[in-house]
């Protein structure tokens, strides 16, 4: 019998620490439901003590999810741990994940604590957490850069206090596969009670080795939990990509001899949902979920594929949930067909009023665009979800004029609270003019860090999906907008980002920062 690897998804926590990727409560619930469909074992829904908004989001995920374990991160102190336990109250199965840095650098500079103080704090926090939950994970932050003897003492002590999972993060992505695998193996060999806990790996991708390091932690080190995120989202260069881990374990089962419980056909829908909600576009050549991951363009390859797919394919596109872009609905499709397609896509509609609102959006889009694909429906539903959450700024309409040799002009009409605002401005291009027009009224003064356009399906009929990243007062937010007209999509994305800046509950404390 092959051993099982536990898949611990931290898209909603570590993934959310990517610049601008912060998610609202409803967005987290939508992703959590999809992660459950993907059959991840553990969903880390957030860091309860980081903000009231995150606390509410974790509570909502805990209520919505039935099968996966729901987890909250907490610093290793009573206050954070109590907050995590409170947020998880409604969960069918819950885990508290306490962390404390153990590397000499982090202890001295960040925590300003001696190793003995850190050891005591770690023990005390796990003892406290065990009164609130049975399933307790301890992470030794910056574990890979910690001194082996000290780390062994900390791990042995927290297992004695009742930690059930021990996670050894490579917080800064410094490890290499063999060295990391050996590091985990040494720890497991030297810690006397190591068999009383599940060992876990958590690798960052600063040197592009997160997936390889995690797999080595399992293969060489004997870890049986991998922490990962959809599309490899995460701090800086990101975290371990779930889709790559799962497909490596499956495709090279001959080598790893491990199984995991993931339903791989849900990988691509999950990747698209996360990308759509966070505004982090997936690079075309990204393994498994990139648009080119299964595209064969050279003549020799196409010829080989036609003769036998195994010549150039080690995985099947359909096994990870790629389906040929199908026209699913159109102008004449009725409400029932729309509702059924939503069900097939696993999109839950709570109230009849929400369905009506989404159907109106669908009809409006079908008037602009004759062929409606699944990706279009996902985008419509994201827009509807944002409306349900109550936007302060809301796009109404836009007109613009551009002509070669002249400065483009744009007029944008949008809602500010319950009033309608209209503004005109010029710019270097039509997008610039439209965003200038919005800024004339809002006067946010936010710095634009990123602007990107992506076609959500193929062909020029596609809707444009625009991401705008803004920074203000130490906060970074992403806004996403979709529309067949990319100028309108840009205005929507800009207003979506302004909505996030406007909402104080979106301000969160980063888990790795000491307050």
Candidates 45, 126, 507, 511; binder of ligand KIV (CB under 6 A) is 511
| Residue of 80, 18, 25 whose CA lies nearest to 48 | 80
Give 222's contacts (C-beta < 8 A, 6+ positions apart): 184, 185, 188, 199
Kindly tell me which of 14 and 16 has the beta carbon lying closer to ligand KIV: 14
Written as six digits, the tokens of 81 are: 């741990």
Give 105 or 396: the residue with its C-beta nearer to ligand KIV.
105
Find the helix or strand (DSSP H, E) in which 116 lies: helix 115-130
Q: Please identify, using beta-carbon distances, which residue of 186 and 512 lies nearer to Zn ion.
A: 512
Tell me the residue ranges of DSSP E strands in 104-183.
136-141, 165-170
DSSP H helices in 191-298: 210-219, 242-251, 253-256, 267-278
Q: CB of 81 within 8 A of CB of 97?
A: no
> Shortest gap between Cβ of 260 and ligand KIV (angstroms)?
20
Rounded to whole angstroms, how far apart are CA atoms 389 and 315? 40
Give the Å distances, CA to CA, from 505 to 345, 453, 480, 498, 500. Answer: 30, 28, 19, 14, 9
- Binds ligand KIV (CB under 6 A): choice among 139, 146, 229, 478: 139
Phi, psi of 162 (to 5 degrees): 120, 10
Task: Region of 238 please: left (phi>0), alpha (psi -120 to 50) or beta.
Answer: left
- Shortest CB 118 distance to Zn ion, Å: 19
Q: Nearer to ligand KIV by C-beta: 142 or 439?
A: 142
Of 40, 135, 124, 38, nearest to 85 by C-alpha is 135
Instruction: State which residue, 110 or 124, has the beta carbon closest to Zn ion.
Output: 110
C-alpha to C-alpha distance for 401 and 346, rounded to whole angstroms: 41
| Residue closer to Zn ion, measured from CB, 14 or 161 | 14
Secondary structure class of 239 (helix, strand, coil): strand
Which of ligand KIV, Zn ion, none does residue 224 bind (CB under 5 to 8 Å by kind)? none
Q: Cα angle vertex 239, ends 234, 244, to 5°?
A: 130
Member of 202, 272, 409, 500 binding ligand KIV (CB under 6 A)? 202
Question: Does 99 interact with ligand KIV (rule: CB under 6 A)?
Answer: yes
Q: How far is the CB of 167 from ligand KIV (least distance, A)?
A: 6
Count the helices and strands in the chain (H runs, E runs): 17, 16
Phi, psi angle pair for 407, to nearest 5°:
-75, 125
CB-nearer residue toward ligand KIV: 71 or 215: 71
- Minimum CB distance to ligand KIV smaller for 140 or for 425: 140
In whole angstroms, the minimum distance from the beta carbon of 141 to ligand KIV comes to 4
Q: How far is C-alpha 280 from the chain's CA centre?
A: 9
Q: Which does 141 bind (CB under 5 to 8 A by kind): ligand KIV, Zn ion, none?
A: ligand KIV
Query: Whose Cβ is closer to Zn ion: residue 18's or residue 457's?
Result: 18
Q: In angstroms, what is the minimal distance from the CB of 208 to ligand KIV?
A: 16
The CA–CA distances, whole Å, from 321 to 265, 269, 302 equal 4, 7, 21
Residues ≥6 apart with Cβ < 8 Å to 196: 159
54 binds ligand KIV (CB under 6 A): no
Cβ at position 10, least distance to Zn ion in Å: 7
Measured from the CB atom, the residue of 14 and 465 that comes closer to ligand KIV is 14
Question: How many residues at the interface with ligand KIV, by CB under 6 A?
Answer: 9
How many residues belong to the chain?
515
Q: How far is the CB of 254 from ligand KIV (least distance, A)?
A: 31
Tell me the residue nearest to Zn ion as measured from the CB.
Answer: 14
CA–CA distance, 315 with 308 (Å, rounded to integer): 13
**Which segments of 343-408 are extended strands (E)?**
393-401
Binds 173: which of ligand KIV, Zn ion, none (CB < 5-8 Å by kind): none
Q: Which does 439 bind (CB under 5 to 8 A by kind): ligand KIV, Zn ion, none?
A: none
- Determine if 141 is a binding residue for ligand KIV (CB under 6 A): yes
Question: Which is nearer to ligand KIV, 238 or 430 (by Cβ)?
Answer: 238
511 binds, among ligand KIV, Zn ion, none (CB under 5 to 8 A by kind): ligand KIV
# residues contacting Zn ion (CB under 5 A): 1
Q: What are phi and psi of 406, to 5 degrees?
A: -120, 155
The least CB distance from residue 503 to ligand KIV, in Å, is 25
Of residues 10 through 29, those in contact with Zn ion by CB under 5 A are 14
Smallest gap from residue 12 Cβ to ligand KIV (A): 13
Helices (H), ranges, 389-444: 430-442
The residue behind tokens 């005390």 is 124
- Give the shortest CB-511-to-ligand KIV separation in angstroms: 5
Beta carbon nearer to ligand KIV, 88 or 412:
88
CB 17 to Zn ion: min, Å: 7
Distance of CA 199 to the CA centre of its chain: 23
x/- string (CB under 6 A) for ligand KIV, residues 284-323? ----------------------------------------
| Residue 14 is a binding residue for ligand KIV (CB under 6 A) | yes
Residues that bind Zn ion (CB under 5 A): 14
Residues that bind ligand KIV (CB under 6 A): 14, 99, 139, 141, 169, 171, 202, 204, 511
């Amino acid at each position: 019998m092959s051993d099982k690897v536990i898949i611990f998804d931290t898209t909603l926590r570590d993934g959310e620490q990517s610049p601008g990727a912060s998610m609202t409560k409803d967005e987290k619930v939508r992703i959590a439901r999809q992660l459950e469909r993907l059959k991840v074992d553990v969903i880390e829904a957030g860091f309860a003590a980081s903000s009231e908004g995150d606390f509410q989001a974790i509570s909502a995920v805990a209520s919505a999810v039935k099968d996966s374990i729901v987890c909250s991160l907490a610093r290793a102190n009573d206050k954070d741990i109590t907050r995590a336990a409170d947020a998880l109250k409604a969960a069918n199965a819950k885990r508290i994940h306490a962390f404390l840095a153990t590397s000499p650098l982090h202890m001295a500079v960040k925590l300003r604590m001696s190793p003995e103080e850190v050891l005591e704090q770690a023990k005390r926090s796990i003892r406290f957490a065990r009164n609130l939950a049975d399933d307790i994970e301890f992470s030794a932050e910056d574990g890979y850069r910690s001194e082996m003897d000290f780390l062994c003492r900390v791990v042995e002590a927290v297992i004695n206090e009742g930690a059930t999972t021990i996670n050894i993060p490579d917080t800064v992505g410094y490890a290499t596969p063999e060295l990391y695998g050996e590091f985990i193996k040494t720890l497991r060999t030297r810690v006397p009670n190591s068999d009383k806990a599940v060992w876990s790996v958590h690798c960052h991708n600063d040197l592009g080795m997160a997936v390889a390091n995690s797999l080595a932690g399992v293969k060489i080190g004997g870890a049986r939990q991998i922490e990962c995120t959809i599309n490899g989202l995460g701090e800086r260069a990101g975290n371990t990509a779930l889709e790559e881990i799962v497909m490596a374990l499956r495709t090279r089962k001959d080598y790893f001899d491990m199984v995991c419980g993931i339903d791989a056909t849900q990988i691509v829908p999950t990747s698209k949902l996360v990308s759509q909600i966070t505004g982090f576009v997936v690079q075309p050549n990204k393994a498994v979920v990139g648009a080119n991951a299964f595209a064969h363009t050279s003549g020799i390859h196409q010829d080989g594929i036609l003769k036998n797919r195994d010549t150039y394919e080690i995985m099947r596109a359909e096994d990870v949930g790629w389906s040929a872009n199908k026209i699913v609905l159109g102008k004449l499709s009725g409400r029932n067909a729309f509702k059924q397609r939503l069900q097939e896509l696993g999109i839950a509609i709570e109230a009849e009023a929400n369905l009506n609102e989404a159907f109106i959006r669908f009809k409006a889009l079908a008037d602009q665009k004759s062929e409606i694909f699944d990706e279009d429906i996902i985008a419509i539903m994201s827009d509807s979800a944002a409306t349900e959450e109550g936007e302060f700024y809301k796009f109404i309409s836009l007109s613009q004029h551009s002509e070669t040799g002249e400065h483009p002009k744009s007029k944008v009409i949008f809602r500010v609270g319950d009033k309608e605002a209209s503004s005109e401005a010029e710019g270097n291009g039509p997008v610039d003019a439209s965003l200038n027009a919005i800024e004339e009224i809002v006067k946010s003064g936010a710095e634009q860090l990123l602007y990107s356009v992506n076609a959500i399906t193929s062909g020029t009929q596609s809707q444009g999906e625009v991401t705008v990243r803004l920074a203000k007062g130490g906060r970074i937010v992403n806004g996403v907008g979709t529309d067949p007209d990319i100028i309108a999509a840009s205005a929507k994305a800009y207003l979506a980002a302004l909505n996030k800046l406007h909402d104080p509950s979106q301000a969160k404390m980063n888990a790795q920062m000491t307050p």
